A and B are shown apart, each in its own frame.
Chain A
């Protein structure tokens, strides 16, 4: 009895006991569990107290070591199973003993069936796999369904194409196209400036969509990096003014008037 109390104490997870909840963090925890489960009567261990010990231990750990919770569940499960098996084994043994004591040979009358010839053979009725032919109507329905599925797939593919990532001017694979776009924009800027207009970023847009704004801005940045234009913005989010860079400005490109003495 004293030993049982000690065992229960060990499994409550209290300090000083040989098997504590903290032991579940050790690498050899499984061996210790097996040793403990099979070397003693599992009915002497209180799973409730062990689980309570675990709960308080968990509070202390504040969930830092999640492996323990899994091991704890397994520990309780192993103990419960060991208890159940022990109990079932005890019951079976008791029943067998009772039968041996209380029955006379021939009393139950089943000894004549001990020979295989007395065991009636069960004949299962053979069942036909019932599959039937397809009807004409089902064939036409199948055709309608096939077309419907096809149309849905096509529609989905079209939508996916439309929703495909926009070319923000970053697709350098299509470099030829991009160069054409740059030249077009550069010509547009020059043309506007040659008419003496002030070129604002907004005046370069056709549709004024988000995508177009981004694309045109990327093109302008490219032109600026190539030294062809210069972009100016007085303050953040204000209009961007586009000018030709000094070397490309119309004034500079105009040939200087020839000196009279030449």
Chain B
């Protein structure tokens, strides 16, 4: 018996409840195809269920939101609640080194990969790969190096209208902007 056969698709469980359970439990964002497999729904029907779930969660009484990135879904705490509850989950969803590299790119975006590596050291190459994979950063060829800039998903993730909002913060070292 393979995994998909073993999954319970009894008529009592609504597809939305399966999606909710999957997204609550998964440690990584769940792909659209995996959700289709779990719910047994075709893509368009799944999209409807996701939209329905998104609508439910948008209610002010709910603390979660449905996050989508590259056709992968996960639950996130609503930004306005994050500061209040973040101590309960001390682990961030990216490592300290990756976050520092992301911050250097974000505050200087667009920035040459070479400059980022100068500041962050050679480990930054790996961090940049991870950030591109997670769709926080995009890169374009620029001579012998790459030009790195943040994506729309980055802005959505941090709920920013634009990067100026970040740079207005006077507490960050202004000499490096």
Contact = CB atoms under 8 A, between A and B. Distances in A.
Interface in B92-128: 92-94, 96, 99-104, 106-107, 119-121
B94 to A, nearest CB: 6
Contact of A146 (B79, B88, B100, B160): B100
A129 B89 CA distance: 9
Contacts of A146: 100-101, 103-104, 119-120
- Interface residues of A, dominant DSSP: helix
Contacts of A128: 24-25, 27
Interface in A152-170: 153
B166 interface: yes
Given A132-B89, A147-B173, A142 B27 contact: no
A144 interface: yes
B100 A145 contact: yes
A153 B103 CA distance: 18
B130 to A, nearest CB: 14
B7 interface: no
B55 interface: no
B45 interface: no
B86 A132 contact: yes
A60 to B, nearest CB: 58
Contacts of B166: 136, 139-140
- Interface residues of B, dominant DSSP: helix
A131 B93 contact: yes
Interface residues of B, number: 37
Contacts of A140: 103, 166, 169, 171-172
A126 B89 contact: no
Contacts of B107: 143
Looking at A134, A143, A150, the one whose CB has the most chain B CB atoms below 10 A away is: A143
A139 B89 contact: no
Interface residues of A, number: 23
B82 interface: yes
Contact of A136 (B93, B94, B158): B158
A61 interface: no
B120 A133 contact: no
Given A136-B158, A140-B103, A143-B103, A131 B172 contact: no
A153 to B, nearest CB: 8
Interface in A105-163: 126, 128-140, 142-147, 149-150, 153
A144 B99 CA distance: 11
B158 to A, nearest CB: 5
B16 interface: no
B24 A133 contact: no
B5 interface: no
B91 interface: yes
A135 B86 contact: yes
Interface string B16-43: 0000000011010000000000000000
Given A136-B158, A140-B172, A150 B76 contact: no
Interface in B112-148: 119-121
A139 B159 CA distance: 12
B77 interface: yes
Contacts of B102: 139, 142
A131 B77 contact: no
Contacts of B100: 142-143, 145-146, 149
Given A139-B166, A140-B171, A134 B92 contact: yes
Nearest to B76: A133
6 contacts: A130-B91, A132-B89, A132-B93, A134-B94, A135-B83, A143-B172
Interface of A: 126, 128-140, 142-147, 149-150, 153
Interface of B: 24-25, 27, 76-77, 79, 82-83, 86, 88-89, 91-94, 96, 99-104, 106-107, 119-121, 157-160, 166, 169, 171-173, 176
Given A131-B93, A140-B166, 4 more contacts: A134-B94, A134-B99, A136-B160, A139-B99
